[in-house]
Amino acid sequence: MSDYAILLMVELARDREVLSAHALSERVRVEVPTASKVLKLLAGNGLLESFRGANGGYRVTRGAADINVAEVIAAIEGPIAMTECSVEQGLCNQEDSCELRGNWQRISLAVAEALQQVSLAEMAAPPGRKAGPLQITTLTA
């Protein structure tokens, strides 16, 4: 669902106009029920404004350069994490004897930081016109 969310957000951020779920689904070639579900989640998490009525639809709350991919994914999936235990304690029955949690937390943090560095504006840009390579911090033990 996150990939659909990014497609829909990029399309909405292009002109910052109000578009219906139906119009968006046609533009990005996603089924209307899927688009509607994703748009409601994005609106519920403050990334979109929703408008009712004949001319209703959705509009981004901020510009494409001000919304990063991590925000969109988190709105759909919840906290960005490689494993449940890297976000919250008590979700795994092996937690008391597992020595991997710290490393999973490091990996999850690196992934989240990388996704935070990519804006919707960058996602919308043609491949040769990106702002440049990501600056990923090397984590050390």
| 45 contact partners, CB below 8 Å, separation of at least 6 | 74, 75
Instruction: Compute CA 136 distance to the chain's CA centroid, rounded to the nearest angstrom.
Output: 19
Q: Spell out the domain ranges in the chain.
A: 2-60, 64-129
Question: In which band, very low, low, confident or very high, does the pLDDT at 131 lie, cut at 50, 70 and 90?
Answer: low
| Residue range 20-70, pLDDT digits in tens | 999 999 999 999 999 999 999 999 999 999 999 888 999 999 999 999 999
Q: What angle do CA 11, 59, 42 make, to 5 degrees?
A: 85
* CATH number belonging to domain 2-60: 1.10.10.10
Structure tokens at 117: 């560095």
Instruction: For residues 76-94, give the mean pLDDT.
Output: 80
Question: In which band, very low, low, confident or very high, does the pLDDT at 141 lie, cut at 50, 70 and 90?
Answer: very low
Predicted structure pTM score: 0.81
Instruction: For residues 115-123, give the mean pLDDT.
Output: 95
